Chains A and B, each alone.
Chain A
């Protein structure tokens, strides 16, 4: 992780704020949704960063902002050391080929009126990647890569299952020959049996083409299979980031511990001893985030200090950062509780 070269993707202090239309007369009472609010991540070439958080915490917005598909309020996004946030649409065009996206909903992500061939040819056509006469062969090759027969070419999306459509979406992303792909919950909408097939396909393609992934998920269950580094997100911010091993074995932030306690364990004996931390209460609105630590309204070990003072993202180990006043050791005023250790029974 301590490579001397710059990471493929470096996001620094990213902010995406949406202005909601005013509720009052004359547009007064305008509210701001801080969907992403000071988020920093880095992904090394050929690696996968898992981005995890509950629904509505700003994961998709983060992915889209990185690809300049959501309006960026502040911060920088560097791909190959080049800041994308200042580029004009025209300057961005050639760079768009290098970064692609795979969506969660396999039914909404493909144009129902286009054939598979039209869908997969589009990136080749837009970026003029192959001579005209080689394009059909290239589409066939891409379909084979994602495990679809060439006979799929003339068919329409509605003729395929969810998993097959997701493969078409992956083929479309690959057609641009990208370096970096945002995988926005690519298996969340699929049956469990299909999920592992798609995940394996994504891993194979990553090795084959040296792809770099931002893998978005709403729980820690699948992220473990996919990621080298994991970042946990809450209300538009990273609350903990660590290597996969560190995060699963020694989660420091109470939120990470809660998410982790919800993941079933394959070993039934350990599974029986697993302690669940149930998060109570609703996810607070990103329009009016709580004072101090954003998590204090739901944190099982919140102290008075948490309500007023916002914790910063502190380094507590190599490549391991957490944003909790008590991360890295037991809190002085809470001798009994052990927030610094895993709530999961030790495996």
Chain B
């Protein structure tokens, strides 16, 4: 037990403080707290696997996602083929590990590239919401007054219009492809980040350590980066992480409705829609991408919740 040997002060809190091991930075404590949370750690593993799968799609996929062999349309996966007799291990190396879709494209390859689509959308949309919402919210919270009321007006307007409806409208107006799905989800979804940024900057502005920095004559910009940003970062990272499953589900929903990613780029939502016609026989074609969406969303949600608990300043005490 390396403890601080301090003179004089002998109140109870110092007793607790001296029990803390050396080099206990808030960051290190957060990491410890995060990994103590089993679900969050499992979520992280899944997130790494799915993100890695999306990144390395060309290596993992057996063929291209748009290579169609009409002759092989709607093939069962080798393992599930009632006529097939291949034992399990050979399944993995079969030509179509998960069979083919209605126009003879390899389902496994499309699934992997679908992960890539989900990851691109999942990370890009929260980045855009952050890029729009954070500066607006930060300015509103920091400057208050007229800036604040203008931003609040805008937020009220965005809240009044359901963002999915607005995104649908914009997508029908400007056409739908991967890029537009990302952009329109981004520009309709920044309200939450804006509110959070505003609340963070508003409360941090009044904190005594910020006043102390002002009393020193530190410039407002330095104060914002040295004192406010480092303390606002935690909640914003959590918001970002929890925005990912929302964006993935949004893309899947739009693609399911036929307003999402353009053909032939695969998307889990689109694969569910395409497969639903054959669900009575080829039930797994709809089940597998649905499961992928569910697992991915859960993994990111657990990760986000774990980060929230780990980065919570209250937990630092």
- Would B14 and A172 count as touching, CB distance under 8 A? no
Neighbour of A127 across the interface among B17, B208, B216, B231, CB < 8 A: B216
Give the distance to chain A from B200, nearest Cβ to Cβ, in Å: 14
Interface residue A30 (Cβ < 8 Å from any Cβ of B): no
Interface residue A161 (Cβ < 8 Å from any Cβ of B): yes
A108: B residues at CB distance < 8 A:
207-209
A148 to B14 alpha-carbon distance, docked (Å) = 13
On whether A111 and B17 interact (CB within 8 A), knowing A96-B216, A105-B208, A149-B4, the answer reads no
- Would A148 and B23 count as touching, CB distance under 8 A? no
A27 to chain B: closest residue by CB = B149
A111: B residues at CB distance < 8 A:
209, 226-227, 230-231
- Would B25 and A163 count as touching, CB distance under 8 A? no
Contact string against A for B residues 285-317, beta-carbon threshold 8 Å, 1 for contact and 0 otherwise: 000000000000000000000000000010011
B209 to chain A: closest residue by CB = A111
Neighbour of A112 across the interface among B11, B211, B213, B313, CB < 8 A: B313
- Would A122 and B213 count as touching, CB distance under 8 A? yes
A95 to B61 alpha-carbon distance, docked (Å) = 67
B10 to chain A: closest residue by CB = A193
Interface residue B280 (Cβ < 8 Å from any Cβ of A): no
B212: A residues at CB distance < 8 A:
101, 103, 109, 169, 172
A162 to B317 alpha-carbon distance, docked (Å) = 12
B207 to chain A: closest residue by CB = A108
Give the distance to chain A from B211, nearest Cβ to Cβ, in Å: 6
Residues 79-124 of A at the B interface (beta carbon under 8 Å):
92-94, 96-97, 99-101, 103, 105, 108-115, 122-123
Neighbour of A64 across the interface among B24, B25, B211, CB < 8 A: B211
- Would A69 and B17 count as touching, CB distance under 8 A? no
- Would A176 and B230 count as touching, CB distance under 8 A? no
- Would B9 and A161 count as touching, CB distance under 8 A? yes
A109 to B206 alpha-carbon distance, docked (Å) = 11
Neighbour of A164 across the interface among B5, B6, B226, B230, CB < 8 A: B6
- Would A100 and B11 count as touching, CB distance under 8 A? no
Neighbour of B24 across the interface among A105, A113, A159, CB < 8 A: A159
Neighbour of A69 across the interface among B12, B25, B211, B231, CB < 8 A: B211
Give the distance to chain B from A63, nearest Cβ to Cβ, in Å: 10
- Would A96 and B24 count as touching, CB distance under 8 A? no
- Would B23 and A154 count as touching, CB distance under 8 A? yes
Give the distance to chain B from A158, nearest Cβ to Cβ, in Å: 5
Residues of B in contact, count (CB < 8 Å)? 36
Give the distance to chain B from A245, nearest Cβ to Cβ, in Å: 30
Interface residue B214 (Cβ < 8 Å from any Cβ of A): yes
A176 to chain B: closest residue by CB = B216
Contact string against A for B residues 241-253, beta-carbon threshold 8 Å, 1 for contact and 0 otherwise: 0000000000000
On whether A159 and B216 interact (CB within 8 A), knowing A108-B209, A113-B230, A194-B11, the answer reads no
On whether A123 and B216 interact (CB within 8 A), knowing A111-B209, A155-B4, the answer reads yes
Give the distance to chain A from B221, nearest Cβ to Cβ, in Å: 13
Interface residue A55 (Cβ < 8 Å from any Cβ of B): no
Residues of A in contact, count (CB < 8 Å)? 49
Interface residue A67 (Cβ < 8 Å from any Cβ of B): yes
B161: A residues at CB distance < 8 A:
none
Give the distance to chain B from A71, nearest Cβ to Cβ, in Å: 12
B24 to chain A: closest residue by CB = A159
Interface residue B7 (Cβ < 8 Å from any Cβ of A): yes
A148: B residues at CB distance < 8 A:
6
Interface residue B215 (Cβ < 8 Å from any Cβ of A): yes
- Would A100 and B7 count as touching, CB distance under 8 A? no
Neighbour of B9 across the interface among A158, A176, A197, CB < 8 A: A197
- Would B23 and A197 count as touching, CB distance under 8 A? no
Give the distance to chain A from B81, nearest Cβ to Cβ, in Å: 58
- Would A110 and B215 count as touching, CB distance under 8 A? no
- Would B4 and A151 count as touching, CB distance under 8 A? yes
On whether A156 and B24 interact (CB within 8 A), knowing A96-B217, A113-B231, the answer reads yes
Interface residue B8 (Cβ < 8 Å from any Cβ of A): yes
- Would A193 and B11 count as touching, CB distance under 8 A? yes
A1: B residues at CB distance < 8 A:
none
B14 to chain A: closest residue by CB = A161
Interface residue B175 (Cβ < 8 Å from any Cβ of A): no
Interface residue B86 (Cβ < 8 Å from any Cβ of A): no
- Would B217 and A163 count as touching, CB distance under 8 A? no
- Would A112 and B26 count as touching, CB distance under 8 A? yes
B7 to chain A: closest residue by CB = A147
Residues 167-205 of A at the B interface (beta carbon under 8 Å):
167, 169, 172, 176, 190-191, 193-194, 197
Interface residue B69 (Cβ < 8 Å from any Cβ of A): no
B25: A residues at CB distance < 8 A:
115, 156
Closest 10 CB pairs of A and B: A96-B217, A161-B14, A161-B13, A109-B208, A93-B217, A163-B9, A108-B208, A103-B208, A111-B209, A113-B230
Could you give 19 example pairs across A and B, Cβ below 8 Å?
A: A69-B215, A99-B215, A103-B211, A111-B226, A111-B227, A112-B26, A122-B213, A126-B218, A155-B24, A156-B26, A158-B316, A159-B17, A161-B12, A163-B11, A163-B14, A164-B14, A167-B9, A172-B212, A194-B11
Additional pairs, 14, CB under 8 Å, beyond known A159-B24, A176-B216, A194-B9: A69-B211, A96-B215, A103-B208, A111-B226, A111-B227, A111-B230, A112-B316, A113-B230, A148-B6, A159-B17, A162-B13, A163-B8, A164-B9, A190-B11
Measured CB to CB, the residues of B under 8 A from A are 4-14, 16-17, 20, 23-26, 207-209, 211-218, 226-227, 230-231, 313, 316-317
Measured CB to CB, the residues of A under 8 A from B are 64, 67, 69, 92-94, 96-97, 99-101, 103, 105, 108-115, 122-123, 126-127, 147-149, 151-152, 154-156, 158-164, 167, 169, 172, 176, 190-191, 193-194, 197
